[in-house]
Amino acid sequence: MRIASLQLKVVEESKDKSLEHATRMIRQCRSANLILLPELWNIGFMSFDRYREEAETQEGPTLTLLRTLAKELSCHLFTGSFVEERGDQFYNSSFLLNPKGEILGSYQKIHLFTYQSEEAEILTPGTSLTVIPTEFGNFGLATCYDLRFPELFRKMLDREAEFFLIASAWPASRLEHWLLLNRTRALENLSYLISSNCVGINRGTPFAGHSLVVDPMGEIVAASHDEECVVWGEVNREVVLRARTEFPALKDRVFKT
């Protein structure tokens, strides 16, 4: 499976400009089987004052555009996240689309960030984990701060996740944490982890970039730095199956969820 992780800069000017920019980047990835986008890339994670006023339903401009692009490029597309409005509640939601532009599943961020952040004051946390079967393997979805909670990934593992897809807006000030957690979550679950992180500055906060593709033994397959780019990588479910067969860590677990 050929991966294209879009390390997008935040375009603060307007959502329309952000969507136009993302469209140009996505169309550079025509050879990819799976494209990933970051967290809240269409308005910027730190733009808390825009969360409610620019929230969207699933029929809104962001998901509508991405469904069209998934179909145009005939690829799976992990949408990254946007603020989703459901009734009188707001969620940090991401979606996995198939090559027909259909929604295979969605995930509402469970662990909302409370440190120097208004996310948890505005949004409602999700309550369900998401693992989605595809022709390439089983994809578990997570968002940014979720990386600090290993139990979420163990629960996805127990639902047969083989690839973790991470949308993020991780800050540059905690880059070393990001690098460590990406590799650790992959290694401890003998799974691929593929992340898409923002770059640039949003409301004075610089993002870390360094989007990664990490293999089941915690080795980095592909990586970037802190500039806007596409991170390309090749992954194969057989690598996951072989690692889990040859190395017994998962079979040797004593405490299981």
**Spatial contact of 40 and 86, defined as CB atoms under 8 Å apart:** no
Reported as a single tens digit per residue, the pLDDT across 69-81 is 999 999 999 999 9
Beta strands in the chain, from DSSP E residues, in sequence order = 2-7, 34-36, 76-86, 89-97, 103-108, 131-134, 137-143, 163-168, 192-197, 201-202, 205-206, 212-214, 220-223, 229-234
Mean pLDDT along residues 147-156:
98
* Average per-residue pLDDT for the chain: 97
Report pTM. 0.97
pLDDT of residue 256: 78
**Which pLDDT band holds residue 165 (cuts at 50, 70, 90)?**
very high
- Summarised one tens digit per residue, pLDDT across range 108-132 is 999 999 999 999 999 999 999 999 9
Residue 257 confidence class, pLDDT cut points 50, 70, 90: low
Using the predicted structure, report yes or no on whether residue 53 has a pLDDT greater than 90. Answer: yes
Contact 193, 2 (CB under 8 A): no
pLDDT of residue 24 exceeding 90: yes
Looking at residue 44, what DSSP letter applies? -
pLDDT at position 66 over 90: yes
pLDDT (average), residues 170-186: 98
Q: Tens digits of per-residue pLDDT, 190-248?
A: 999 999 999 999 999 999 999 999 999 999 999 999 999 999 999 999 999 999 999 99
- CATH number for the segment(s) 2-246: 3.60.110.10
| Look-up of token digits 């979420």 | 152
Neighbour tally for 135: CB within 10 Å: 10
Rounded percentage of the chain residues whose pLDDT exceeds 70: 100
